[in-house]
Structure formats: structure tokens, C-alpha cells
Structure 1
Amino acid sequence: MEEKELQKLVENISIESFGKLFRHKASFNSRLRTTGGRYLLGTGNIEINKKYLDQLGESELIGIIKHELCHYHLHQEKRGYQHRDQEFKTLLKKVGAPRFCSQLLERPRKRVNRKVLLYQCSKCNLQYKRRKSIDTSRYVCGKCRGKLLKIKEISLE
């Protein structure tokens, strides 16, 4: 689906489900990661995450569009358009839009080679585990104020 087709789809859903015109721009935004779409208050435009269309299909896309159109039409009418507003919740039920979109299939994440640094106090022998290195010339033991010594680096895999 291209942006022109998305624009037409949004306009058609707006007329069919809400009985109102959508007068702004609908577009795909590939940078959206954790959300299906968003309504931009400043411009009135709607951005959709294309991954939802690719992974979950057109029915999920239509639900996301309806959800964003609820934000759009309520905001244009200066009514409660936020998720917590009762008018928004009522309109969602009326048009059959989901309150939240389904989760995307997770992509495999890169394995990060994690390391743990082990420090020990020279006075009381208390040990500290840290992920980030400590400047031993600036920091001291929290218990006895003794000098910290770097003992070893443990890699977690």
C-alpha cells in the first residue's frame, strides 16, 4: 500500500464510520516503533506505522486508523480527545475502534556482550558490582570510606 492509497482509505473510513470529512494528511512513518499510529495535534495529520500492515494485515490497520480518527475528530471539535477522556472512550466503542493496538512480532535482538566490574574496598573488603566503571580516584567505600580497588571484570553471556 502506498501513501495515496492510505490517504484514500483514511478518508473513506472517516466518512463511513464518523460521517465527517478528514481534511488533513495521512502518511506512513517508519520511525514509529512502539505504537501503531499517532495523531499530531499541531498539524492535524495522522501517521501510521507500516509494520502493522505488513505483519498483522489490513484489519489491524483499519482499527488503528479508526482509533487515530477518534483523536482527530474529537480534537477538531474541541472535545475530550485523550485516552483518559470519557468522550474518547465512548466514541471508540461507537465506531468499533480498539483502545490499544495489538503487539508486533518481536524481531530478534542483538546479543549485547554484558560485563560486570568487581570492586573491593582496601579496608573492610566489601565488594561492589557495577556495570559501568568507577573512577577509583574520586569514589570511596560507602561503609568505611576506604580506597576502592578494581578486582576483576566478569563477562555475562
Structure 2
Amino acid sequence: MEFIIAQKEHIDRMCEITEDAKKQLHGLGLDQWQKGYPSREVWEQDVINACTYLAMEDGVIQGIFAFQTTPDPSYKEIDGQWLTDIPYASMHRVCVADGCKGKGVAGRMFAYGFELARKAGFETVRIDTHPGNLPMQHALKKAGFEPCGTIRLVGGCEDGDLRVAFERILTD
């Protein structure tokens, strides 16, 4: 598997994968990603910012994630406690294409995100997910993330929505 930075020509497929993920979340009875996020406009801005990575196999997109190196406003306040109080990288909008789930794609994306964080000088990575998104919580724990408490999203169409916050301290 190789990782590339998403380009404009990938946006249509990224939107298809996102729509499939939204349907799956809806099928689980979750309101996560049901209010218009992530949208085509979000992916277009990510392409401009060169912050979204694609997990590729034989030219086919198997997964998507955004990588952020600036503080996330949603992580400023937590009901609980982060593992660290040092600068962190974060991963967002993690989704795996239908037909690729259960094949370790998410784990490889997390591992690549950890590599990006180390290269950028970070010792920790944060992420969040819906309290009811048990498949993602399982994947996060499998990747070494530890639950730290709950946060409320700040800004956008999901403003105020509750999420479980996770952190992974990177070790060599």
C-alpha cells in the first residue's frame, strides 16, 4: 500500500467513499456525518491545503484521512484528561472504502499518520469519534489510541456534537 496526497482528480471518488461511510453510520443509527460533513467543499479545501492522504493499492483508493498539525479548537476543552499537554498532530475524516473494510486499511492509515507526525516533530496524535461508532473505537484502540474523555465539536455543521477523544503517544 502506498500513500499519496489527495489531488483534484481524486475528489469525486473521495466523495463517493464518504457518502458510503455516511450511509453506514446512518445504518448504525448514528448522527455522525449526517449533517453535511464532510462535504465536497471540505475535500476541495483539503486538496488546496495538501492535508489529506489516500491509501492506494493498484491505483485504487482504499482509504482517506486528513492530517492536521495545528491545534484543533475542539480539543481545547475535554471532559476527562488528555494523556499529554504537549503539541500534537491530529487525524480527521478517516474512512475506508466499501469492499476494503476488515483488511487492515485503517490500521495502515493510522501507522502512516504516526509516521507523518514523527517526521513533523510531534510525539503524540489525537483523534475523536462518535460515542456510538464502536467499529472506529475498536480500530483506534487496536492502533494504540487511548480514550481520554469527551469533547464537543467547535464550529461547522456539527458544532456542539459530543465525541469521544483519543490520544496516542508515539514511541520509537
TM-score, normalised relative to structure 2: 0.26
Which structure dedicates a bigger proportion of its chain to strand? Answer: 2
1 or 2 for the larger relative contact order (CA 8 Å, sep ≥6)?
A: 2
TM-score, normalised relative to structure 1: 0.28
The structure with more radius of gyration:
1
